Amino acid sequence: MKFVVARVVAAALLLSACGDEAATSAGIGGSGGVAAGGRGGAGGAAGTGASGGLGGSGAGGVAEGGGGSRVEPPTSQGCVDGQGLAEGEHSFMLEDRARRYVLRLPLGYTKDKSWPLVLALHGNGGSVSYWDVTSGERNIRGVLENEAILVIAEAIDGAWRDYDMPPESWPARMESELLYFEQVLSQVRADLCIKEDAIFSMGFSGGGSFSGVLGCRRSDIRAIAVGGSVIYFDEADCINSPAAWITIGSQELTPDREAFRDYFRDSAGCSASSVNAEPSPCVAYDDCASATPVHYCEHPDGHIWPAFGSEAMWAFFSQFVAR
């Protein structure tokens, strides 16, 4: 694992047509070293890796076979006694705020089979409706309908970072959102049958930036897939180094977005050289740790989710799903 040299990314506030932010996080420093947290062994709890890290428990075990024993991938408690969750909107109170998420189950869902889980995060200024569509370039529901459980998350006041608030308020906001994801994942794990080693986070703009937070701060996030994102977290707080699929438009290629890409590339032990990967125009960085490949896709447009993004997201995630 290579360590990233501490850097301070200059703050810049750019506006996009959709209203999502394009600003860098301020005050990023520290060693940037990533202590990889455990992903959960069979029948055990996922490692936290460092204080403040969040993870989940596994309910996997050892299956006996004629040729010896094999370790089954860890699964959630919902595979044992989960009561199930209805498809659609779920709401709850947290820190005196009404919070919600939308659940989309794969066709034929049953707790007799464990499923991957994909968290989808909208951009700043958005809502669950950004990803909860059944047509167009953002139709991740169609991509995942036979493959994975989809949880579409929603930020406080529609913004994972509120750029109208003073920067000193941002860390507390981030902790509140991390608590929200802990609540959501605890409910989903308790009631649905989840593959504990196949939990992913994806998002666009601010949602991609906060997927980076989840990949940094939670030991149970196996991989992220993001577009047009910047660093929200302090590198010194990271306990995990997930695999990463990152897309940036050539018309939005700013130093803060390059810093996001380079952080996840470097923390995965990759070099700056690369080879072509599917789909075009993607590349796969060389020399990454075997468990954490990093792909970068520079599309020719501005601050948008590219047409190839949804299919490419699942193609990248699916390589980590045990069949």
Model-level pTM? 0.82
Of 125, 127, 143, nearest to 135 by C-alpha is 143
**Residue 58 domain-assigned (yes or no):** no
Q: Give the residue-averaged pLDDT of 268-275.
A: 98
pLDDT in tens, 273-313: 999 999 999 999 999 999 999 999 999 999 999 999 999 99
Residue 117 lies in a domain: yes
Flag whether 265 is in a domain.
Answer: yes
Helix axes 170-191, 206-217, angle to 10 degrees: 70
Mean pLDDT value across residues 179-197:
98
- Give the model's confidence band at 214: pLDDT under 50 very low, under 70 low, under 90 confident, else very high: very high
Q: Name the residue type at position 275.
A: V
Q: 65 in a domain, yes or no?
A: no
Domain count, the chain: 1
User: Long-range contact list for 181-186, CB < 8 A, 24+ apart?
Assistant: 181/54, 181/119, 181/153, 181/214, 181/218, 182/54, 183/92, 183/94, 183/99, 184/101, 184/151, 184/153, 185/56, 185/220, 186/56
Q: Identify whether 151 is part of a domain.
A: yes
- Could you tell me if 66 and 177 are in contact, meaning their C-beta atoms sit under 8 angstroms apart? no
Model pLDDT, residue 66: 44
Q: What band does 73 get if pLDDT is binned at 50, 70 and 90? A: confident
- The more confidently predicted of residues 1 and 125 is 125
Give me the pLDDT at residue 98, please. Answer: 98
Q: What is the share, in percent, of the chain residues with pLDDT greater than 70?
A: 78
Which CATH number covers residue 242? Answer: 3.40.50.1820
Q: Could you list the residue range(s) of the whole structural domain that residue 219 is in?
A: 75-318
Residue 272 in any domain: the answer is yes
Instruction: Kindly state whether residue 250 falls inside one of the protein's structural domains.
Output: yes
Q: Which of 45, 118, 37, 120 is nearest to 77 (CA)?
A: 45
Q: Which two tokens stand for residue 10?
A: 């200059």
15-46, pLDDT tens digit by residue?
Answer: 343 444 444 433 333 333 333 333 433 333 33
Is the residue at 206 inside a domain? Answer: yes
